[in-house]
Amino acid sequence: MRPYSRRGMLSIGAGAAAAVSLAGCAGLTGSDDASHADGSGGDTGKGRSDAAPKPTARPIGDGSTAYTGKQPHQPAKPEPLQPGQAPPQFVVFSWDGAGEVGNGLFPRFLDLAKEHGASMTFFLSGLYLLPESKKRLYDPPNNPRGASDIGYLTDAHIKDTLKNIRRAWLEGHEIGTHFNGHFCGESHGSVKNWTPRQWRSEIDQAKSFVKEWRTNTGWTDLPALPFDYDKELVGGRTPCLLGQDNLLPTARELGWRYDASSPGGRQVWPVKRQGIWDLPLQQIPFPGRRFEVLSMDYNMLANQSLNSTKAPAHNYPGWREQSAQAYIQGFKRAYKTNRAPLFIGNHFEQWNGGIYMDAVEEAFKHIAREKDKGGDVRLVSFRQYVDWMDAQRPEVLAKLRTLDVGQQPAGGWREFLKATPKGSGAPSSNAA
């Protein structure tokens, strides 16, 4: 498999102290072996529906996917916050690319999620289910047919990717999209320059590679993916966090519920853009530095080793701890103050000796311990998070948005939200 293409862009962050950070390339190939084994789908509600899929699957199309019933291990239906009730602390761990390349990272993090009753979001690159021998089926906008800035997977790795994506969904995780060829930079072919119509073509192709892997590979001895991708796919993250403005009209047209492509977000309660929840990577504290860093492994690397993925090993222990503490301090800041959700993005990679995977695991375990202590901490997927947001009253969300980064609610949560009008309890699906 060819090496990944890695690019970053300089982003000036807003806030009390404007932070300079590198908004990393948000999509790589990787090992697809993390397992959410107990199927606990994240605590977005007091209870959870753990009904297993119906035993009889209904094939869709060529049988690459199948309807198997309601997704298992999902939280109970979310309810609006009551007057004076503190909001939960939501944390979303997401993975760009979600391809299995034999390094065991996909199952490693699925197992970690299973152990702690968490859900995650996997942004699958459609090309990771397309054999390189069939690459001319891909017609990327403004690029030659079959071109890709990430490598096609081997047949063995495609099979492993299918296995892990299947497992992830059955264990309650979300399968989003990272699109296909990962074209970044400033060239004409970059996703930065794609029109809404071209985004529609890219999405249609990404979906087709998932929905028609059986036809494209000729494999008949593997089970179908256990979901209807047309209904499952409700959000994504663009390559290198580029092109969101022209993506959003298409996402709205397709009925998507969120987009996670914004760079330089802050730890505040999110808003909708063009009717779509805008859920960005966020600036979080970077221990020992005067600026903040975006909440993704690549951005840690870009600031620590200037984009080198194989820096001198004597740096690794300090960089690993700095990265872990960045996530942990970002969590603590929100949890102790405005309770804004924390969004973390990563890749199944082994840069700089694998220190970023160790760092995200350390941070995950720290956050999970807070949940286990009885705090209202919820490790969820993006889809589960927007389910909760859409269940809230607009006036409550508006009040939450008045809290800045690290700002505590005046008088505590009971006082801060006590005067919020009860209203009719109507959900805020059209909140701005």
Give CA separation, 193 vs 142, 143, 182, 190, in Å.
Answer: 9, 12, 13, 6
The radius of gyration of the chain's CA atoms, rounded to the nearest angstrom, is 20
Specify the pLDDT at position 422.
53
Specify the pLDDT at position 55.
54
Task: Residue 181: name the closest of 236, 220, 143, 234 by CA.
Answer: 143
Angular region, 423: left φ>0, alpha ψ -120 to 50, beta rest: left
Domain map (residue ranges) of the chain:
8-416
> Residue 300 has what DSSP assignment?
H
Task: Residue 31: name the closest of 201, 140, 153 by CA.
Answer: 153
- Helix, strand, coil in percent for the chain, rounding step 5: 35, 15, 50
d(CA 287, CA 284): 10
Specify the pLDDT at position 33.
31
Whether this model's pTM surpasses 0.85:
yes
d(CA 378, CA 117): 9
pLDDT tens-digit profile, the chain (432 residues): 333 333 333 332 222 233 333 344 433 333 333 333 333 344 444 445 444 445 579 999 999 999 999 999 999 999 999 999 999 999 999 999 999 999 999 999 999 999 999 999 999 999 999 999 999 999 999 999 999 999 999 999 999 999 999 999 999 999 999 999 999 999 999 999 999 999 999 999 999 999 999 999 999 999 999 999 999 999 999 999 999 999 999 999 999 999 999 988 999 999 999 999 999 999 999 999 999 999 999 999 999 999 999 999 999 999 999 999 999 999 999 999 999 999 999 999 999 999 999 999 999 999 999 999 988 999 999 999 999 999 999 999 999 999 999 999 999 999 999 965 554 344 444 443
Q: Are 40 and 141 in contact (CB under 8 A)?
A: no
What is 8-416's CATH number, 3.20.20.370, 2.40.10.10, 2.60.60.20, 3.40.1280.10?
3.20.20.370
